[in-house]
Amino acid sequence: MDAKELQPIKQRYGIVGNCEALNHALDTALQVAKTDLSVLITGESGVGKEIIPRLIHENSLRRMRKYFAINCGSIPEGTIDSELFGHEKGAFTGAIGEHEGYFGAADGGTLFLDEVGELPMSTQARLLRVLENGEYIRVGSSEVRKTNVRIVAATNVNIQNAIRDGKFREDLFYRLSTIPIKMPPLRERGEDIVLLFKKFAMEIAAKYRMPERITLSPEAEEVVKRYKWPGNIRQLKNVTEQMSILLRDTRVVTPEILSDYEIWPTIEERGSLVRVGRGGSEAHSYQNEREMLFQMINALHREVSDLKQQLSGIEKPSLNHDALTPTPSPEERGVVTVVDSYPVSSHRPYASHDATPYAEEYVEESLSLEEQEKRLIMKALEKNRGRRKRAADELHISERTLYRKIKEYGLDDL
Ligand SMILES: Nc1ncnc2c1ncn2[C@@H]1O[C@H](COP(=O)(O)OP(=O)(O)O)[C@@H](O)[C@H]1O
Ligand SMILES: [Mg+2]
């Protein structure tokens, strides 16, 4: 099915996006819908896994029969077997009557087992049996029952760890994933991020009858496309809703506003995208001030590493910066590494080096992002003896932003 043919399906299910990985996932779901094969949907939290089982059920021959969505992670371990497979009267304390269980109730239909990786081992054994021959036994019974249920399961990628740690049966994993469907993380969806932002901004504006929906400035579009979105679509939706409600003075979201919501690309992401000060020939199109600061920090880091190499007399092998193993992101480490040096040397003894690695041995200090920014501003002010216009020029930020930052960091005395 090509992208055009998927359009009506997307409309019907409110699915926004055109990226290839999403289209592939939808296409696979529609193709397998008419079969009884088990489907395992994988993908990080918040990527939209829950759309798929509904789509499968409603496009299958079972669509007139029952569909149940069960979150395996939210049912207590003590009751999950009885919830899924039913129990007999008196099977345990409190079992006053008999209970059919989802596998009995969904006979002929579809069961969606969300967060299947959370199932206890004993339940996994029962599930494997029902998947293999349609047989199950109610809790407190010895009678083998038959059911005809199509299983669609979902899990975040951690199931691989669960298998490794002996918490998830490998045989069940393979049995469940006859047809695997991978939902892509939001950060890999390029232009879709902007489309989804628009959809959520429009929805919230309509819901609260706002005169105008929020929009992204061109620079902000770049930022959201490069941000890593750990919470995926769920996070994007929440942030868009928050901004729609809280932004009063303007309806245009800028990178600065996004940074108030902690949305900006990591240094590593920038590192592979920008190279500043390498021979001065690389033009760049990064407009916003924070981006410029990040670029400068990157450049400084490499400059100082170069200098250190020069001083120690040890020449490191030439490395292509793009091929470097990334250091953990600032979010992961909670800190950003920075070297305490401001001036950018024009002396380039290792001109053949495309870049110097961000090796930990060169790290002199670990400072928070704010500390880092503050320090750069202080240095620029000191160097220019308090002349703000010059300092701003040197930092590649507007004077207005510099004034704001000076206030923010209490640097008025400099
Ligand atoms: N392609 C999409 N278009 C529009 N909204 C989406 C899309 N995918 C997911 N959503 C929304 O994102 C949120 C998270 O989706 P969900 O299926 O609950 O994620 P998961 O189960 O993978 O954690 C939901 O509010 C859902 O409606
Ligand atoms: Mg979910």
The CA distance from 376 to 414, in Å, is 13
Domain containing residue 154? 3-184
pLDDT value at 84 more than 90: yes
pLDDT score of 399 more than 60:
yes
pLDDT at 329: 40
The two tokens of residue 224 are 């959201």
CB 49 less than 6 A from any atom of ligand 1: yes
Flag whether 72 is in a domain: yes
pTM: 0.67
Binned at pLDDT 50, 70 and 90, residue 71 comes out as very high
Q: Report, as an integer, the average pLDDT of 54-77.
A: 96
- Say yes or no: CB of residue 53 within 6 Å of ligand 1: no
> Which one has a higher pLDDT value, 411 or 102?
102
Among 13, 23, 50, residue to substitute to test ligand 1 (most atoms within 8 Å of Cβ): 50
Using the 8-state DSSP alphabet, how is residue 87 labeled?
B
What does residue 252 show for φ and ψ, rounded to 5 degrees?
-105, 120
| 165/191 same-domain check | no
Distance from C-alpha of 380 to C-alpha of 387, rounded to nearest angstrom: 9
Q: What is the pLDDT of residues 286-313, one digit of tens each?
A: 445 565 566 566 666 666 666 776 676 5
Residues 153, 212 within the same domain: no
Residue whose Cα lies nearest atom 16 of ligand 1: it is 48
Hey, what are 87's tokens? Answer: 């129990």
Domain assignment of residue 274, yes or no: no
Please check whether residues 253 and 179 belong to one and the same domain: no
Identify whether residues 174 and 193 lie together within a single domain: no
Among candidate residues 317, 414, 403, the one with its CA nearest the CA of residue 359? 317
Residue 394 lies in a domain: no
Structural element, H or E, at residue 71: strand 67-71
Which H helix or E strand runs over 40? strand 39-42
339 and 193 in a single domain? The answer is: no
CB of 46 closer than 6 angstroms to any ligand 1 atom: yes
Q: Pick from 257, 256, 298: which is nearest to 274 by CA?
A: 298
| Cα–Cα distance list, 190 to 15, 182, 223 (Å) | 16, 17, 11
Q: What is the mean pLDDT of residues 13-34?
A: 96
- From 142, 167, 184, the end of a domain falls on 184
Residue 400 in domain: no
Same-domain status, 88 and 100? yes
Q: What CATH number did the domain enclosing 234 receive?
A: 1.10.8.60
Using CA atoms, how far residue 284 sits from 39, 277, 302, 330, 337, in Å, is 45, 11, 18, 23, 23
Contact 75, 119 (CB under 8 A): no
Q: Who contacts 335 (Cβ-Cβ below 8 Å, separation ≥6)?
A: 366, 367, 368
In this structure, the answer to whether residues 134 and 52 fall within a common structural domain is yes
Instruction: Domain count for the chain, please give it.
Output: 3
The enclosing domain of 178 has a CATH number of: 3.40.50.300
* pLDDT score recorded for residue 110: 98
| 259 Rama class: left (phi>0) / alpha (psi -120 to 50) / beta | alpha
Same domain for 243 and 129: no
Task: Please tell me the distance between residue 159's alpha carbon and the centre of ligand 2 in angstroms.
Answer: 14
Q: Is residue 128 one of the residues assigned to a domain?
A: yes
| 335 vs 132, more confident | 132
To which H or E segment does residue 68 belong?
strand 67-71
Cα separation, 116 vs 169, whole angstroms: 11
CA distance 114 to 36: 18
Shared domain for 83 and 168, answered yes or no, is yes
Tell me if 372 is assigned to some domain: no
**305: in domain:** yes
177 and 236 inside one domain: no
**Amino acid occupying residue 114:** D
Per-residue pLDDT averaged across 230-235, rounded?
A: 96
Q: What digits encode the pLDDT tens for the residues 372-398?
A: 788 888 888 888 888 888 888 878 787
Kindly state whether residue 13 falls inside one of the protein's structural domains.
yes
Q: pLDDT (tens digit, 9 = 90+) per residue, 163-220?
A: 999 999 999 999 999 999 999 999 999 999 999 999 999 999 999 999 999 999 999 9
Residue that terminates a domain, selected from 164, 184, 204:
184
Last residue of a domain, one of 216, 245, 260: 260
The stretch 54-58 carries a mean pLDDT of 97
Mark whether 216 and 349 lie in a shared domain.
no
pLDDT of residue 3: 84
Which residue is closest in CA terms to ligand 1's atom 25? 234
Q: How many residues does the chain have?
A: 414
Token digits of residue 333: 């480490």
Residues 120 and 213 in one domain: no
Question: Quick one: pLDDT at residue 352?
Answer: 29
* Encoded tokens for 129: 């049996």
Give the position, in ligand 1's atom list, of the atom nearest the Cα of 50. Answer: 17
- Atom nearest to 44 CA in ligand 1: 22
Q: What is the dihedral of CA 364, 366, 371, 376, to 10 degrees?
A: 30
pLDDT score, position 364:
35
> What is the per-residue pLDDT across 102-161, written as a single tens digit (0 to 9) for each?
999 999 999 999 999 999 999 999 999 999 999 999 999 999 999 999 999 999 978 889
Residue 293: predicted pLDDT: 64
